[in-house]
């Protein structure tokens, strides 16, 4: 019964003419322009409009790989690795605690991170020790403010441990 009422409206919807020309998106790897990266911290700029091949990052909505021609988007970053694949093929990895990534229409990617450090600067042993300390505070009778801080540390240390294990 429902389909008999719905079917005529679907037929009618197909007859509505489209206004203007719809744009068609192609693959990002055939984009003519280069991806330009600006990776900025509060105290320094790691990249400033530098042409790169690809940037992989840990967004709140999931891991993303960004090439030239990527659709414009604003993404919150979660603790994780920002991998920059430079034009020569070399790769640099940074661990960022949080921030935002903005992909602009002009192939400009701006990443504003609260803090970011080269991944090779971290030792797995120190990360595990920090993880144990955060867990100890969370399971103790510490004040709520200390537990909240330990909860944030736990998320960051877990992401850092996963990044170093790869």
Q: Mean pLDDT, to the nearest integer, of 25-37? A: 64
User: What is the predicted pLDDT for the residue at 145?
Assistant: 92
Classify residue 10 by its DSSP letter: H
Q: Tokens for 32?
A: 């003519």
Q: What are the pLDDT digits (tens) for 137-147?
A: 989 988 889 99
- By DSSP bridging, strand 35-40 and strand 45-59 are antiparallel
User: What is the predicted pLDDT for the residue at 89?
Assistant: 87
Q: Determine the Cα–Cα distance for residues 114 and 127; give it in Å rounded to an integer.
A: 19
Q: Tokens for 128?
A: 């595990």
pLDDT of 41 higher than 80: yes
Q: Rounded to the nearest 5 degrees, what angle is found at the Cα of 134, between the Cα atoms of 100 and 92?
A: 40
Q: Kindly write down the DSSP assignment for every residue of 121-160, as one continuous string.
A: G--HHHHHHHHHHHHHHHTTT--HHHHHHHHHHHHHHHHH
Q: Which of 43, 115, 36, 38 is CA-nearest to residue 80?
A: 115
User: What is the predicted pLDDT for the residue at 166?
Assistant: 78
pTM for this structure? 0.74
pLDDT band at 33 (very low <50, low <70, confident <90, very high): confident
pLDDT band at 32 (very low <50, low <70, confident <90, very high): low
pLDDT of 8 higher than 90: no
Q: Mean pLDDT, to the nearest integer, of 51-69? A: 94
CA-based R_g, the chain, Å: 22
pLDDT of 6 higher than 90: no
């Amino acid at each position: 019964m429902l389909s008999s009422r719905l079917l005529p409206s679907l037929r009618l919807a197909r007859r509505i003419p489209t206004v203007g020309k719809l744009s068609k998106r192609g693959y990002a790897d055939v984009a003519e322009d280069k991806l330009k990266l600006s990776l900025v911290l509060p105290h320094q700029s790691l990249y400033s409009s530098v042409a790169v091949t690809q940037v992989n990052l840990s967004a709140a909505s999931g891991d993303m790989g960004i090439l030239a021609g990527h659709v414009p988007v604003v993404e919150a970053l979660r603790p994780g690795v920002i991998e920059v694949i430079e034009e020569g093929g070399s790769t640099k990895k940074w661990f960022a605690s949080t921030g935002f990534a903005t992909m602009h229409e002009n192939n400009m990617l701006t990443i504003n991170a609260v803090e970011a450090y080269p991944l090779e600067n971290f030792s797995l042993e120190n990360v595990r020790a920090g993880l144990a300390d955060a867990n100890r505070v969370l399971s103790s009778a510490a004040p709520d403010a200390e537990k909240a801080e330990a909860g944030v540390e736990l998320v960051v240390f877990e992401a850092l441990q996963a990044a170093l294990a790869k």
